[in-house]
């Protein structure tokens, strides 16, 4: 897929440039569509890009939606296993908006669970927080990193901390910026970690690129309370 390959190559190239400049981004996350995931040359293309850019696979995380994972469980399991064997990280994006089958959390080799922003926005009244807390606890028990999407207010951040959510993503932490602006953040540092930027069509490529064009750039540090 030409656009997907372009995004992936750009993300890997930029991340390697930061690493060569002795900056330390945790990882770059790139969205992978259903069409890209089923593309017969996905593994070959990914390996080619990693070889061309010189990026170590551990710095790359691929984000997949629930619907992609559930389309063909057997083929999906084989593909995820092959990707993990390459050394890349894998995340389930927008968790809670698709099939929401909990069985695949134990069947598939994934590293992170990204909880959809609709859960974050609906944390009050109490019943929604109970559901969110249960999802966070379950994911952590399976040794998955848990990332809350769409964190925009201090109140949401505090509630997620109370639920022991490890990471967050949203405008509360960082607004969109270009590669130079993100490099400045890496030099100056934030309280903990920064992970994701996305590419929007009306902007020049952002620090971290993603293949979901309709979403604005966001970052997320860990949600640990300072002591």
Strands (E), the chain: 28-31, 60-65, 89-95, 112-115, 145-149, 167-169
Q: How far is it, in rounded angstroms, from Cα 182 to Cα 94? A: 24
pLDDT in tens, 117-138: 988 888 765 555 788 888 899 8
Model pTM? 0.79
What pLDDT tens digit does each residue of the chain (227 aa) get?
578 889 999 999 999 999 999 988 888 899 998 889 988 889 999 999 999 999 999 999 999 988 888 778 888 899 999 999 999 999 999 888 766 567 778 888 899 999 999 888 887 655 557 888 888 998 999 999 999 999 998 888 888 988 889 888 888 887 777 888 888 877 876 544 434 333 333 333 323 322 222 233 333 444 544 33
Cα separations in angstroms, 205 against 6, 9, 141, 146, 171: 11, 12, 36, 27, 18
pLDDT at 101: 63
The token pair at 219 is 């970052």
pLDDT at 205: 32
pLDDT at 134: 87
pLDDT at 13: 95
Q: How far is it, in rounded angstroms, from Cα 28 to Cα 14? A: 9
Quick one: angle between helices 2-20 and 179-188, nearest 10? 40
CATH fold, domain 2-188, is TIM Barrel (3.20.20)
Nearest by Cα to 111 from 139, 78, 144, 140: 144
pLDDT at 189: 64
């Amino acid at each position: 897929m030409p656009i997907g390959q372009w995004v992936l190559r750009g993300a890997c190239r930029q991340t390697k440039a930061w690493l060569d400049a002795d900056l330390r981004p945790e990882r770059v996350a790139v969205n992978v569509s259903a069409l890209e995931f089923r593309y017969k040359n996905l593994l070959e293309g990914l390996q080619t890009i990693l070889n061309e850019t010189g990026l170590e696979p551990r710095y790359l995380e691929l984000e997949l939606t629930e619907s992609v994972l559930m389309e063909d469980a057997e083929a999906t399991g084989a593909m995820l296993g092959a990707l993990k064997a390459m050394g890349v990280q894998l995340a389930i994006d927008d968790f809670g908006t698709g099939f929401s089958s909990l069985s695949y959390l134990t069947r598939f080799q994934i590293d992170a669970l990204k909880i959809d922003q609709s859960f974050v926005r609906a944390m009050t009244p109490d019943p929604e927080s109970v559901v969110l807390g249960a999802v966070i606890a379950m994911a952590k028990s399976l040794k998955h990193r848990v990332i809350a999407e769409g964190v925009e207010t201090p109140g949401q951040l505090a509630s997620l901390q109370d639920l022991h959510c490890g990471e967050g993503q949203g405008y509360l932490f960082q607004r969109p910026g270009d590669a130079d602006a993100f490099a400045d953040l890496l030099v100056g540092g934030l309280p903990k970690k920064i992970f994701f930027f996305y590419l929007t069509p009306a902007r020049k490529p952002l620090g971290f690129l993603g293949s979901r064009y309709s979403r604005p750039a966001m970052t997320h540090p860990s949600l640990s309370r300072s002591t």
